Structure 1
Amino acid sequence: VEWIQQQVVKRRIKRDYKPGGTQSTYFNDPKWPSMWYMDSQASFDVNGNDFDPMPRYDASNENKHGTRCAGEVAATANNSHCTVGIAFNAKIGGVRMLDGDVTDMVEAKSLSLNPQHIHIYSASWGPDDDGKTVDGPASLARQAFENGIRMGRRGLGSVFVWASGNGGRSRDHCSCDGYTNSIYTISISSTAESGKKPWYLEECASTLATTYSSGESYDRKIITTDLRQRCTDSHTGTSASAPMAAGIIALALEANPFLTWRDIQHIIVRTSRAGHLNANDWKTNAAGYKGELPFFFFAIR
């Protein structure tokens, strides 16, 4: 035995705001063969230990989160249904991991799934955003990050995109989140349609860039796919911002598949712009790039 560790259950939350297998794998679900948009090599049910990541349906639709995030990235164009994904030529996979006990091993399996096939891992989850939790990846998940950037995509490096968190009202600080402040992740925050800082936004220097999401009641929310073959116009929080960034990165990799994980980070810093972001205290850092703490570095273009 070279290494042993007792696995403990970790509390993980989805970062949307809530008011108050293999190709030959067979399933008996009648619509499984028609799920053209699901890449079986990029999908796995870590909770059930099988190749079917379909969400568990219930009356409250509490497992809608992943379907909404996936639609932002890769909803198919010109099919007369719902929306168009940002990277509509991309293939999408699903990893079911939050519908059961989450341990270090569960996180590591999810973050290291088929790294030669999957290019971008988009994560809209993390520790509690309650203003008092300091948490992050344990040893196995940290190793998954390191292996991903070193060996993923045949040495070009896996790209990990992370929602920065929704604990602004609780004065949560995303630098106390070991996932968003990791050097291996691209931490994405939110701006509302109005360009203002959303009330849930966490301010910290680990945020790399910003994309759109929900804001005040007069701001529109994000439109995307939903459970039960429906659409929604109410996707919210930094959960909606991270997959938007993942879709933009997918377009960059479609144009140039030889970009490394570090190239992607540099491109984001060099090309993001303030646009209509509403802030008055822009600062220039030592590298000569302007930014503002809630949004650093501006909005991805």
Structure 2
Amino acid sequence: MDQISIHSDKGEIKLRKSKALVGLKMTQSRGLLEPDYINKELHQSLGGFKVVELSIEDTNVNDKLDEVRGRDEVEVGTHVYYPENSDRPLIATGEIFITYHEGVSDEEQMLALDEYNLELVERREPNVLVARVTANSPNPIKTAGLLQESCLVKNAQPDIDTVLDQYFLPTDNLMGSMWHLQNNGFVPDANVQLRRGIDAKVVAAWRKLGSLGSPNINIAVVDNGFDLTHPDLKNKVIKPFDFWNNTPQVLQGDARYTHGTPCASVALAASNGVGMVGSAPNARFIPISGTSFTVRTTESIFNYCVNNGADIISCSWGSTDRNYQLNAEKQQIIANAARRGRNGRGCVILYAVGNDSLNYVNFYAQHPDVIAVGACTSQGVHAPYSNTGMEVTVCAPSNGDWPIIAARAWWDQGDPREQGERRYWIDGYSRGNQYKHFGGTSSATPLVAGICALMLTANPDLTAREVKQILIQTADKIGNPGEYINGHSRKYGYGMVNAERAVAEALRRRGISTPTPMPTNPQPQPNPQPQPRPTTQPQTQPVSSGGGSSVFEVNVNQKPSSGWGVQVGVYSNYDNVLSLVAKLKQQFGQPVFVVVSNQNGRQLYKVVVGAYANINEASIMQSRLAQAGYQGFVKNLADV
């Protein structure tokens, strides 16, 4: 059936089945490469499914999906639909929200679920519950329609997901000119031709995150000349410090020093509806003023960052004078911050490679714990001023043919060699007196610093070393392929930074790097007394056997059918019951019982938490479960 309908209180939605798209849930143990039956991925998560285009070849989507469902790496496969007169895909999650008519008993409700092999997820009211399809159920849209025809059911709605419009993207008036964040091939207010797609994929990364980053990530920008009154910076500042005067009062107003303002803005300028935006607009700003080559101040700067919560340290300065290379003390200072910061996960430290057109990079950028950032242009080629060398980690879009826009300090007098607006704008056309054209590796570096903040938003547990690894792993190879040796180019490093892929990898690692800890000793149970109703009681979390199955330690005891507990569900799939029981025991440290019953020849399993002497104690447990997201109701054990 290629056409189907959803009936709701808003009317009927007629659907047509996609001829190539399907939704897949893949096992975590699958390889990193996409299987050959997938042409491309369209959505990473829609209703919990990855939406992909199948390689149909000489078959149809129904037969191909049946074939794919048999693969070891595929947990669940489902069809994708389109509403009539719409090109926005729709997926049924597998859950169905069911409202029964008044007076339908619990037993009758369960019979309706049994008829279509559904399992109970949660009960919201006596006559309202949420059920989930199983492998033996019809597809959830069809099942909801069949339930709707039952005399017991007042309403049955399949839960669906679709692609939503994104309204969190910045509306700042210069956003269209921020080509380094998303390059559409042109600049709205300039007659210049850019190479479409040559950008850091920051807007795509925001979409993947569903936000502009976290306000819990702190970027320390070490530089001179911060305008802390600038509208894009002033509301983001925390813990400022000036090491030239050793006070929190940061030097402002000196025309010799203006560099820090545009650098900071490229990383974290706020999305406030006016002007420009940084690559991590929600990140907080730690301005560190007063650069110095001395060991003492270098140590003070990095210690200040570590001790005051800096997650990322961005430095668009350094030395390429061979008389001023880093000695062992400075090397160790940077290494300490890269290991000791962020409670042992390490501060993420970035340095610009420098703008000297040299065949070696800024000596600070040569440090092995540093992310060394070079520059490329909007045409996807090496910016000729950007220093080259084996230490270059990645490059990022900056000027070279067309500059980017950054914040300007109120005392910035611009380029003294130019007149009028050309002091600030390469084409003489002003975009506002609080902004200017900017570039160099000074701009590329904070751009990547902001991307690192997005990565830490996606996965705060990443170490500094992992952040660097991910940037390397996910970068886009640009320029001449022959310039890369073992994946690395002296000009581009491992390629042009790709924020979207970096964030996706950070999210992926979060999913596999924080497993739920295994419980140790099971909770002691009351002495069992013989009763006719058996219960099964898993004692530990499942232990993976490496083949997609789980191993449980199970003790089978009989419990007296007296007292009070909290029922959290009725299930037909015993594997799900085992996982739930183990999770509840670990989380709450209470006895958990499974009551086995038989309806129409099928086993049903009711999960009950606790065995309390009175209803008040059970009600307290019900509140604890509700706070943790479990829907349950107090039940007399004699009635289960």
Taking structure 1 as the reference length, the TM-score comes to: 0.76
Q: Which residue of 2 aligns with 1:296?
A: 493
Instruction: Report deviation, 1:258.
Output: 0.4
Amino acid of the residue matched to residue 122 of structure 1? Answer: S
Which one has a larger percent strand, Structure 1 or Structure 2?
2
Unaligned runs of 5+ in 1: 1-29
Instruction: Report deviation, 1:180.
Output: 0.9
Secondary structure class of the residue paired with 1:243: helix
Say yes or no: does 1:146 pair with 2:349: no
Unaligned runs of 5+ in 2: 1-227, 412-432, 499-640
**Within 2, Cα distance between the matches of 1:172 and 1:298?**
17
Secondary structure class of the residue paired with 2:298: helix
Paired-residue identity, %:
25
**Within 1, Cα distance between the matches of 2:317 and 2:298?**
11
**Within 1, Cα distance between the matches of 2:436 and 2:459?**
32
Secondary structure class of the residue paired with 1:281: helix
**Within 2, Cα distance between the matches of 1:237 and 1:133?**
21
Whether the aligned pair in 2 keeps the contact of 1:167 and 1:173 (CA below 8 Å) is no
Equivalent residue for 2:245, pick from 37, 40, 48: 48
Equivalent residue for 1:167, pick from 356, 360, 373: 356
Q: Which residue of 2 aligns with 1:182?
A: 367
Instruction: Report deviation, 1:118.
Output: 0.4
Instruction: Report deviation, 1:283.
Output: 2.8
RMSD: 2.3
Equivalent residue for 2:344, pick from 150, 155, 165: 155
- Taking the TM superposition and a 5 Å limit, the aligned residue runs for 1:196-215 are 196-215=381-400
Whether the aligned pair in 2 keeps the contact of 1:213 and 1:236 (CA below 8 Å) is yes
Q: Which residue of 2 aligns with 1:73?
A: 267
Say yes or no: does 1:119 pair with 2:304: no
Equivalent residue for 2:456, pick from 238, 253, 277: 253
Secondary structure class of the residue paired with 2:365: coil
**Within 1, Cα distance between the matches of 2:449 and 2:318?**
17
Amino acid of the residue matched to residue 109 of structure 1? Answer: S
Equivalent residue for 2:440, pick from 237, 246, 250: 237
Whether the aligned pair in 2 keeps the contact of 1:279 and 1:292 (CA below 8 Å) is no
**Within 2, Cα distance between the matches of 1:183 and 1:261?**
12
**Within 2, Cα distance between the matches of 1:173 and 1:247?**
25
Say yes or no: does 1:95 pair with 2:301: no
**Within 1, Cα distance between the matches of 2:305 and 2:313?**
11
Q: Which residue of 1 aligns with 2:256?
A: 62
Instruction: Report deviation, 1:241.
Output: 0.7
Q: Give 4+ residue runs of structure 1 displaced > 4 Å after superposition.
A: none
Whether the aligned pair in 2 keeps the contact of 1:222 and 1:235 (CA below 8 Å) is yes
Instruction: Report deviation, 1:140.
Output: 4.0
**Within 2, Cα distance between the matches of 1:234 and 1:63?**
17
Q: Which residue of 2 aligns with 1:22?
A: none
**Within 2, Cα distance between the matches of 1:141 and 1:183?**
13
Whether the aligned pair in 1 keeps the contact of 2:269 and 2:276 (CA below 8 Å) is yes
Q: Which residue of 2 aligns with 1:271?
A: 474
Amino acid of the residue matched to residue 67 of structure 1? Answer: T
Q: Find the structure with the greater CA-based Rg.
A: 2
Instruction: Report deviation, 1:76.
Output: 0.8
Instruction: Report deviation, 1:231.
Output: 3.4
Amino acid of the residue matched to residue 300 of structure 2? Answer: K
Instruction: Report deviation, 1:255.
Output: 1.1
Instruction: Report deviation, 1:232.
Output: 2.9
Q: Which protein has greater RCO, CA pairs closer than 8 Å, 6+ apart?
A: 1
Say yes or no: does 1:223 pair with 2:223: no
**Within 2, Cα distance between the matches of 1:178 and 1:134?**
11
Instruction: Report deviation, 1:64.
Output: 1.5
**Within 2, Cα distance between the matches of 1:194 and 1:243?**
20
Whether the aligned pair in 2 keeps the contact of 1:223 and 1:231 (CA below 8 Å) is no
Amino acid of the residue matched to residue 141 of structure 1? Answer: K
C-alpha deviations, 1:207-234, integer Å up to 9, x for none?
000001111xxx2112111101943342
Whether the aligned pair in 1 keeps the contact of 2:305 and 2:313 (CA below 8 Å) is no
Change beyond 3 A, Cα 1:259–1:220: same
**Within 1, Cα distance between the matches of 2:275 and 2:356?**
30
Amino acid of the residue matched to residue 87 of structure 1? Answer: A
Q: Which residue of 2 aligns with 1:108?
A: 299
Instruction: Report deviation, 1:201.
Output: 1.6
C-alpha deviations, 1:98-151, integer Å up to 9, x for none?
3xx642212221222141500111000011x4xx52533334432321221221
Q: Which residue of 1 aligns with 2:571?
A: none
Say yes or no: does 1:137 pair with 2:326: yes
Q: Which residue of 1 aligns with 2:16?
A: none
**Within 1, Cα distance between the matches of 2:495 and 2:243?**
35
Q: Which residue of 2 aligns with 1:192?
A: 377
Whether the aligned pair in 2 keeps the contact of 1:37 and 1:92 (CA below 8 Å) is yes
Whether the aligned pair in 1 keeps the contact of 2:353 and 2:388 (CA below 8 Å) is no
Say yes or no: does 1:283 pair with 2:484: yes
Whether the aligned pair in 1 keeps the contact of 2:349 and 2:369 (CA below 8 Å) is yes
Amino acid of the residue matched to residue 221 of structure 1? Answer: P
**Within 2, Cα distance between the matches of 1:35 and 1:203?**
35
Give the aligned length.
Answer: 247
Q: Which residue of 2 aligns with 1:38?
A: 237
Secondary structure class of the residue paired with 1:247: helix
**Within 2, Cα distance between the matches of 1:62 and 1:212?**
26
Whether the aligned pair in 1 keeps the contact of 2:352 and 2:445 (CA below 8 Å) is yes
